[in-house]
Amino acid sequence: MAQHGRKMAESKRHKLEDNSQKIEICSLSFALCFLASAVLMVMAAGCAVSENSTLDTRCSILDENQESRIENQDEDFDFLEEEYDEQVVEVADPLEPWNRLMFSVNDTLYFWIFKPCVGTYKAVVPEPARTGVRNFFHNLTTPVRYVNCLLQGKGDSADTELRRFLVNTTEGILGFGDPARDKYELLPVQEDLGQTLAVHGMDDGFYIVWPFFGPSNVRDSLGMAGDMFLNPVRYVEPTETSIYISAGKGINEGSFHIGEYEDFKAAALEPYIAMREAYIQYRNKKIEE
């Protein structure tokens, strides 16, 4: 019995030792797991901070790049706006109702009268003959350009016009030929009183459309009236003959440009405004030259 009691006691002691070892192993495993979890949490936090900082850096770089692109776009838009402002022509148009009416009248006259006459004339008269007529009238109006060159202080241009007149009137047979340009390379000069008034500081004034004569402004209208006194055709008698000659000159000149008005009108969203701006730009360019 005593021996059996000792065996029972040893067996319980071994079980207690095994249980204590298991408890220690479990405790150690739990501690290791907790430590590993803590390390992983710290590493994850560090990675998160690193990723956040990297992300913040990338975001800041993207923001800077985006701001830079926006600033560049703003600068581009500003440049385009400035360029557009330079191209846009500001012109006073207080007579717009009248001008639109005259634009419509001239448009109707063009398609109903002028274009049929010009088309018939172009079909009947060959181009060399029409070119000779144009040269003749250009040579005939030399006084207009010569005087305006002098008024603008362009001595070289005035000399060119005088030499062209002498050469074309003689060698060119009253100006029907243009040996001054073809043979001597004396290019024609385009000057009128409207340009002269602009050179001496006169503003455009307001825009105006005249029947038959088309677009103009106050300054160019005064210039056109002044140039008439330098045009030899004006002094042809009777007055009706002078008008017929001027009309013939217009028909002959129009034969070289037939169809251009139609193309211009077809390409314009608002033909009246497009014509107004085109005329002012054209005149400003002539004045600058």
Are residues 63 and 184 located together in one domain of the fold?
no
Q: How confident is the model at residue 47 (pLDDT cuts 50, 70, 90)?
A: very low
- Confidence band for 289, pLDDT divided at 50, 70 and 90: confident
| Boundary (domain end) residue, out of 67, 88, 109 | 88
Domain end among 66, 88, 110: 88
Asked if 112 and 242 count as a contact pair (C-beta separation under 8 A), the reply is no
Place of tokens 């305006």: 148
pLDDT of residue 38: 36
Give yes or no: residues 179 and 131 share one domain.
yes
Over residues 279-288, mean pLDDT: 93
For the chain, the farthest-separated pair of C-alpha atoms sits apart, in whole angstroms, at 169
Statement to judge: residues 22 and 133 lie in one domain: no
Domain boundary among 45, 73, 88: 88
With 70 as the cut, is the pLDDT of residue 14 above it?
A: no
Domain range for 18: 1-88
Q: CB–CB of 121/251 below 8 Å?
A: yes
Instruction: Give the separation between CA 178 and CA 169, rounded to whole angstroms.
Output: 9
Sorting pLDDT into bands at 50, 70 and 90, what band is 88?
A: low
pLDDT at residue 102 is higher than 80 = yes
Residues 127, 232 share a domain: yes
Whether 254 and 189 map to the same domain: the answer is yes
Average pLDDT, the chain: 79
Number of domains comprising the chain: 2
Which helix (DSSP H) or strand (DSSP E) does residue 214 occupy? Answer: strand 214-217
Cβ count within 10 A of residue 201: 6
Distance CA 61, CA 39 (A): 32
Q: 37 and 159 share a domain?
A: no
Q: Are residues 132 and 177 in the same domain?
A: yes
Q: What is the pLDDT of residues 202-231, one digit of tens each?
A: 999 999 999 999 999 999 999 999 999 999
Judgement on whether residues 80 and 110 belong to the same structural domain of the protein: no
Q: pLDDT per residue over 111-140, tens digit each? A: 999 999 999 999 999 999 999 999 999 999
The string of pLDDT tens digits covering residues 246-280 is: 999 999 999 999 999 999 999 999 999 999 999 99
Could you give phi then psi for residue 95, rounded to 5 degrees?
Answer: -100, 30
Higher pLDDT, 86 or 103: 103
98, 283, 135, 212 alpha-carbon torsion, rounded to 10°: 0
Contact 148, 192 (CB under 8 A): yes
What is the average pLDDT across 90-102?
Answer: 93
- Determine if the pTM surpasses 0.75: no
pLDDT of 183: 95
Segment among 58-72, 110-124, 156-170, 192-206 with least mean pLDDT = 58-72
How much is the average pLDDT of 232-248?
94
Instruction: Look at residue 10 in the predicted model and tell me its pLDDT.
Output: 52
Please indicate, yes or no, whether residues 96 and 81 belong to a single structural domain of this protein: no
Q: Are residues 134 and 153 in the same domain?
A: yes
Do 114 and 53 lie in a common domain? no
Higher pLDDT, 145 or 45: 145
One domain, residues 108 and 64: no
Say if CB 139 and CB 173 are below 8 A apart.
no
The predicted structure's pLDDT at residue 89:
59
The answer to whether residue 15 scores a pLDDT higher than 90 is no
